[in-house]
Amino acid sequence: MSFPRGVGLLGIVAILSVALNLFLAGNQLGHHFRGPMQQPNFQQRLGGVWRDLPEADQAIARGVVDSHYNDILEKWRAFRPASQRAAMAMHADPFDPEEAKAAYEKANQRSEEFRKALQDTLIEIAQKISPNGRERLHVPGGGF
């Protein structure tokens, strides 16, 4: 018994549909069992700046970061709680607009101090590494 051509094509489409659905379901189950991806910690994110540099440039970048690490970390540690206080002020009941404004101004100041320390460090790295390294230098854009 032979089937009309359209029925065979329909069978192929059905098999591909089942295969795609099994693939997507497996992908979702994989996420369920693996759990959410871990966010990199501060040290890992900072190390990401030089991860793709040539080996000689990596050593230079690490040296520059090491020389500024305590200052960068201090600025980061000042920014995080200031940012959290600003968020808390927005959710406070009763809401005080002046308190929220002051909290945001403090958080913005701390953010600027942190970004400046990081920016100065990145510029120093860029000055000291090879042109090839500068092309591969990871410059964080708000990912801290």
114, 76 Cβ separation under 8 angstroms: yes
The pLDDT score that the predictor gives to residue 92 is 93
**Tens digit of pLDDT at every position of the chain (144 positions):** 565 665 666 777 777 777 767 676 676 666 555 555 565 677 777 778 878 889 999 999 999 999 999 999 999 999 999 999 999 999 999 999 999 999 999 999 999 999 999 999 999 999 999 999 999 887 766 555
The closest of 77, 139, 84, 137 to 113, measured between CA atoms, is: 77
Phi/psi of residue 41, nearest 5 degrees: -80, 175
d(C-alpha 136, C-alpha 126), whole Å: 10
3-state secondary structure labels for all residues of 44-89:
HHHHCCCCCCCHHHHHHHHHHHHHHHHHHHHHHHHHHHHHHHHHHH
Cα-Cα-Cα-Cα dihedral sign, residues 99, 101, 105, 107: positive
HSE (side-chain half, CA atoms, 13 Å) at 88: 8
